[in-house]
Amino acid sequence: MLSRKSKLVLLKLLSLFSIVRGYNILVIIIAQYLTSIFILAPDLPLGKVIFDPNLFVIVIATAGVIAAGYIINNFYDKEKDLINRPQKTMLDRLVSQQTRLTGYFILNFLSVILASYVSFKAVMFFAGYVFGIWIYSHKLKKYPIIGNIVASLLAITPFFAVFIYYKNFDEVIFVHASFLVLILMIREMTKDLENLKGDLAQNYKTIPVVYGESTSKHIITTLTLFCGLPIYLLLAYYEVGYMFIYFYVSIFLLLIFLIGLWKSKGKIQYVWLHNILKFIIVLGAFSIVLIDVHLILDRIFWV
């Protein structure tokens, strides 16, 4: 039986995990490695990718900056989140503001220091990433369209980091990236619909607040239809192996998403739509291995 003090410690750890969205960071780490193995460096031996110290540093530094980003975002959105996510906010408050801000500065500092192991360019990249997340959380997220675009670009930056490291400029990479950016933008705009009540109360100038829900749904619908272009290009002109299954599943889920979007009128429905998009993103990260399933076994022994 745990003591009261032990329970409090566990609750605080759970609160910290909730604040930094530990589950999201874990998915991003896995996705970075899978992207490196199957898309960015498919010709390198598996061991040279997995045990590459520079790649490891880039992944860890990215995780640190993202965790810090969630902390500062939580700090600026505390009043809005109290309206939109009261239960999560009460859990998050188990960790004091001072502890959160201290963690924010330490994580960013350590991430930039780690980046110096790779190169000075890496230091500048991560310093810019830190600044981008801060200016987004502090200012840009309160404005329509630009906030959504910047949020989507920041979300794809972890993959841009490994892309720069491997200097692989194959066209297929940009097509994959365009699909991901579109899904991320759709997710951000769906979150605006989900958080409409809190955004109105805190005077956030999001698309639903400024232009209305109907306009927001039309923009989301247009972006969803645009997803068909990169999917078509990937299936028709590039070798994606068994990952074609993922894209057909995505088409089906996006159709369900569109039907649900125009039938949704409240927060609960928008949460479900948001979860569909998150599922598409997470499923896509793990579906990267389907690009070449034979590569998994072959390269285990080719180190």
Confidence class for position 182, pLDDT limits 50, 70, 90:
very high
- pLDDT > 70: what percent of the chain? 92
Crossing angle of the two packed helices 228-237 and 213-226, in degrees rounded to 10: 10
pLDDT of 132 above 90: yes
Lowest mean pLDDT among 84-98, 211-225, 275-289: 84-98
Half-sphere exposure of 15 (CA within 13 A, CB side): 19
For every residue of 68-92, DSSP letters joined together read HHHHHHHHHTHHHHHHH-HHHHHHH
Residues 32 and 59: their CA atoms lie apart, in Å, by 7
Phi, psi dihedral angles at 51 (to 5 degrees)? -100, 15
Domain boundaries, the chain: 15-300
CA separation, residue 49 to residues 25, 29, 37, 114, 139 (Å): 20, 14, 7, 18, 38
Burial class (CB in 10 A: 0-12, 13-18, 19+), 208: buried
pLDDT of 206 above 70: yes
What predicted TM-score, i.e. pTM, was given to this entire model?
Answer: 0.90
Q: How many CB atoms lie within 10 A of CB 153?
A: 15
Residue 166's closest CA among 61, 291, 41, 44?
41
Residues 38 and 36: their CA atoms lie apart, in Å, by 6
Contact 253, 273 (CB under 8 A): no
